[in-house]
Amino acid sequence: MPHLFTRRSAVSVSWLLLVMIVPVGTVRGQTVEDQLKSLKQELEELRRSEAEKQRKLDQLQHRLEQLEAAPAAAPAAKPAKAPAVQPVAAPSPPASRAEEARSALDRELEAIAPQESTTQRADAIWARQVGGTQLRLIDISLDTLLAAGTSTADDEELVSLQGGAHDPNQRGFTLQQVELSFSGAVDPYLIGEAHIIYTLGGVELEEAFMTSTSLPYGLQIEAGYFFTEFGIINPLHPHAWDWIDQPVINTRMFGGEGLRSPGVRIGWLTPLPWYAHIDVGMQNADEGEFTISFDGDGGIGGYPAVPRGVHNLGDMLYLMRLDNFWNLTDEIGFKLGLSALHGPNNTGSDGQTWIYGTDMKVRWRPKENFRGWPFLVWQTEAMKRDYTASYFLGGTPEDPGTGGHGHSHGDEGPPMDEEELPPLAGSILRDYGFYSQLLYGFTHGWAAGLRFEYVTGNGEGVNEGGRAADPFRDNRYRLSPLIVWQPTEFSRFRLQYNYDNADFAPVKDASTVWVGAEILYGMHPAHKY
């Protein structure tokens, strides 16, 4: 879901407001606490409207210029009566009061716009003021991901181990992707985004959607072609991942490309005293490789598959997600999410799939930091899939009414053009797993991390060799240490080692080393930790 602040814009706003708050004491007889309360209300308005945010920022910039041009004011007297909500603190030196104000503002910005924000404030190639709204057409960026590496696994095993479509999966060099992105506030009511990617396999549209900005009651609508808002990793583009490759559990649940599809999502920012956001979505379930756990390409566990198509609302894919965020202390933020998906699968008229997930992120950043360093981020996701396969009714080429091949799937879909298979009993295949990663930014520009992953399941399926021989359902774990060097916000270099232990491989243990480089051009969200 697009948010309204990036780290860069949030920091900029924080410092602008700080200058307003601390002209050596008070301004116009207000205490710091009074000003802070007023600014909190302004920040909430900024979060709710992208267009309104631009206008407010212009006003704040003008106010800043006025304050910088004016002589420093003498400290004002303490008000005779304290505010009803919060007592006025004892007088303190200007530096201490400034630090308190800055910390409080940072906490408000973090609560309103968690660090996972993906929408940026950037200069546009064309902009115009229309009433109280500034139209921006359009922000353009180009992001390139390149990796190189080697492995003890052979070429065929390496492709299965690195199941993500943008994972490096061969010895030597891999162009993971080149992403061209467009975004802008096209009118007072909508923001538009489009992302087009190039790989050696060709050019494809990754996302193209519009997002509302002016609905009341904390509501927001997103419509178009977009990643499903399930968990943390799935909605992110590969350049926003901390590690070079996609977690194994995401590949297993959502395929190499991630779960994305045309549809609509309705979001609601609840009035709860903490950041609590609910998403409800409906998308197509029959988008081929992008919806593999549903009515997409292939069947899980070796079951033959015939796409069902869309006949009614029961053939759609449905999402429910709850996102929460709390500031535990001035330096620690905690995010907790719960997700659920339901939709049909392509094993027959009775086939259906449920996917459940939970995710959490804990971030520590001291008040005294240099451009965000040091920091510590702990992130974990766990998922479970219940894949209910329908009975497969086999037959012979002589059976009447089967198109000459004898296959029926319990529905009125087209006949299958594949070799004869015996009848297959229905089954529930369950797969589950998790990843957990810890990333520590120990000095400016440098970070080190460790990620652990484990996936397993039950229900053998119908493929030869059962679950143990299936690279997308076997028992498996991976350990991945990582070193990151980020000289600027628009370039990044990573060194990652993978130790893989997978049942499907003839040699279960594999060691792989990847080196990744990223270069970012133009107006695009910078990396956040």
Instruction: Report, as an integer, the average pLDDT of 337-350.
Output: 93
pLDDT at 20: 42
> Do the Cβ atoms of 414 and 338 come closer than 8 Å?
no
Q: CA angle 187-106-44, nearest 5°?
A: 40
Q: From residue 204, how far is each of 141, 195, 276 by CA, in Å?
A: 16, 9, 34
- For residue 351, give both structure tokens: 């086939």
- For residue 252, give both structure tokens: 């297993």
To the question of pTM greater than 0.75 for the whole model, the response is no
Domain with CATH 2.40.160.10 in the chain: 139-390+427-522
Neighbours of 271 (CB within 10 A): 8
**For the segment 158-180, what is each residue's pLDDT rounded down to a tens digit?**
999 999 999 999 999 999 999 99
CA 115 to chain centre: 11
pLDDT at 250: 98
pLDDT at 463: 85
Q: From residue 135, how far is each of 52, 58, 120, 129, 472 by CA, in Å?
A: 11, 14, 14, 6, 46
pLDDT at 416: 47
Q: Is 474 helix (H, G, I), strand (E, B) or coil?
A: coil
pLDDT at 39: 64
**For the segment 255-306, what is each residue's pLDDT rounded down to a tens digit?**
999 999 999 999 999 999 999 999 999 999 999 999 999 998 878 988 888 7
Instruction: Report, as an integer, the average pLDDT of 356-373.
Output: 95
State yes or no: pLDDT of 238 exceeds 50: yes
Q: Taking the domain 139-390+427-522, which CATH number applies? A: 2.40.160.10
What is the rounded CA–CA span in Å between residue 520 and residue 125? 17
Give the model's confidence band at 31: pLDDT under 50 very low, under 70 low, under 90 confident, else very high.
low
Give the H or E element holding residue 333. Answer: strand 332-344
What is the rounded CA–CA span in Å between residue 462 and residue 481? 36
pLDDT at 29: 43
Point out the least confidently predicted range of 169-173, 221-225, 277-281, 407-411.
Answer: 407-411
State yes or no: pLDDT of 381 exceeds 70: yes
pLDDT at 42: 62
| Residue 460, CB-side half-sphere exposure with 13 Å CA sphere | 7
Q: Is 457 helix (H, G, I), strand (E, B) or coil?
A: strand
Q: From residue 52, how far is each of 186, 189, 200, 213, 214 by CA, in Å?
A: 13, 10, 41, 9, 9
What is the rounded CA–CA span in Å between residue 190 and residue 132? 15
Give the model's confidence band at 40: pLDDT under 50 very low, under 70 low, under 90 confident, else very high.
low
Phi, psi of 171 (to 5 degrees): -65, 145
> Do the Cβ atoms of 79 and 31 come closer than 8 Å?
yes
Give the model's confidence band at 338: pLDDT under 50 very low, under 70 low, under 90 confident, else very high.
very high
Q: Are strands 375-389 and 427-443 parallel, antiparallel or unpaired?
A: antiparallel
State yes or no: pLDDT of 125 exceeds 80: no
State yes or no: pLDDT of 41 exceeds 50: yes
- Nearest CA to 85 out of 134, 150, 38 is that of 38
Helix, strand, coil fractions of the chain, as percent rounded to 5? 20, 40, 40
- Nearest CA to 249 out of 426, 114, 437, 507 is that of 437
State yes or no: pLDDT of 352 exceeds 90: yes
Q: Is 471 helix (H, G, I), strand (E, B) or coil?
A: coil
> Do the Cβ atoms of 518 and 176 come closer than 8 Å?
no
Q: Are strands 190-199 and 275-284 parallel, antiparallel or unpaired?
A: unpaired
State yes or no: pLDDT of 208 exceeds 50: yes
Instruction: Report, as an integer, the average pLDDT of 204-222.
Output: 95
**For the segment 126-150, what is each residue's pLDDT rounded down to a tens digit?**
566 655 555 566 788 999 999 999 9
Residue scoring higher pLDDT (498 or 7): 498
Give the model's confidence band at 454: pLDDT under 50 very low, under 70 low, under 90 confident, else very high.
very high
pLDDT at 223: 98
pLDDT at 137: 62
pLDDT at 464: 84
Query: Who contacts 31 (Cβ-Cβ below 8 Å, separation ≥6)?
Result: 78, 79, 83, 88
Instruction: Report, as an integer, the average pLDDT of 301-313.
Output: 85
State yes or no: pLDDT of 419 exceeds 60: no
pLDDT at 126: 59
State yes or no: pLDDT of 333 exceeds 90: yes
pLDDT at 375: 97
- For residue 480, give both structure tokens: 């991945």
Give the model's confidence band at 120: pLDDT under 50 very low, under 70 low, under 90 confident, else very high.
very low
**For the segment 58-85, what is each residue's pLDDT rounded down to a tens digit?**
566 555 555 555 544 434 343 333 333 3
What is the rounded CA–CA span in Å between residue 115 and residue 528? 7
Catalogue the long-range contacts made by 54-63 (C-beta closer than 8 Å, 24 or more residues apart).
54/121, 54/133, 54/134, 54/136, 54/185, 55/132, 55/133, 55/134, 57/13, 57/16, 57/121, 58/134, 60/13, 60/16, 60/17, 60/20, 61/16, 63/20
pLDDT at 528: 54
pLDDT at 131: 56
Q: Are strands 172-187 and 352-364 parallel, antiparallel or unpaired?
A: unpaired
351 beta partners: none
pLDDT at 304: 83
The per-residue pLDDT of the chain, averaged, comes to 79
Q: From residue 477, how far is each of 42, 332, 376 by CA, in Å?
A: 48, 30, 24
Q: At what angle do helices 94-112 and 32-48 cross, to 10 degrees?
A: 20
Q: CA angle 114-224-133, nearest 5°?
A: 60
Cα end-to-end span (Å), the chain: 18
Point out the least confidently predicted range of 89-93, 182-186, 253-257, 487-491.
Answer: 89-93
pLDDT at 401: 43
Phi, psi of 453 (to 5 degrees): -135, 145
pLDDT at 151: 97
Q: What percent of the chain has pLDDT over 70?
A: 67
